[in-house]
Amino acid sequence: MRSAEADSMNGAVQKIERIKSVFLDTQLFYAKHTESAALTSYLENAEAEFRSIAYESVSVAIALDELEKKQRLDTWLLYAKGPALAHQAQVYVGLGWAIAKLNLPFLPVVEKIDSRLHHRVADGCGYYDGGFRQRQAVMGLQLPAYLPEALLQAYDQGIGRSLWYTSNADSSRVRSRIAGFPAHRQADLWRGVGIAVTYAGGCDDELLKTVLQYAGAHRLQLAGGAALAAQSRINAKTITADTERCARLWFELTADESGLTYTEWVNQADQWLAGIFEKNQ
Torsion region of 46: left, alpha or beta (phi above 0 gives left; psi -120 to 50 gives alpha): beta
Mean residue pLDDT of the chain comes to 93
Q: What proportion of the chain, given as a percentage, has pLDDT over 70?
A: 96
The H or E element that residue 200 is part of is: helix 183-200
Closest CA to 121 of 107, 133, 134: 107
Task: State the pLDDT at residue 6.
Answer: 65
C-alpha count within 13 angstroms, C-beta hemisphere, residue 34: 9
Task: State the pLDDT at residue 280.
Answer: 59
**pLDDT tens, residue by residue, 70-117:** 778 999 999 999 989 999 999 999 999 999 999 999 999 999 999 999
**pLDDT tens, residue by residue, 183-231:** 999 999 999 999 999 999 999 999 999 999 999 999 999 999 999 999 9
Closest CA to 87 of 238, 236, 239, 267: 236
Task: State the pLDDT at residue 15.
Answer: 96
Opening angle at CA 136, ends 134 and 140, nearest 5: 105
**pLDDT tens, residue by residue, 132-147:** 999 999 999 999 999 9
Domain ranges of the chain: 3-279
Task: State the pLDDT at residue 42.
Answer: 95
Closest CA to 130 of 156, 91, 169, 168: 156
Count of beta carbons in the 10 Å neighbourhood of residue 142: 12
Q: 27-57: b or e for each residue (b if 16 or more CB lie within 10 Å)?
A: eebbeeeeeeeebeebbeebeebbbbbbbbb
Task: State the pLDDT at residue 7.
Answer: 64
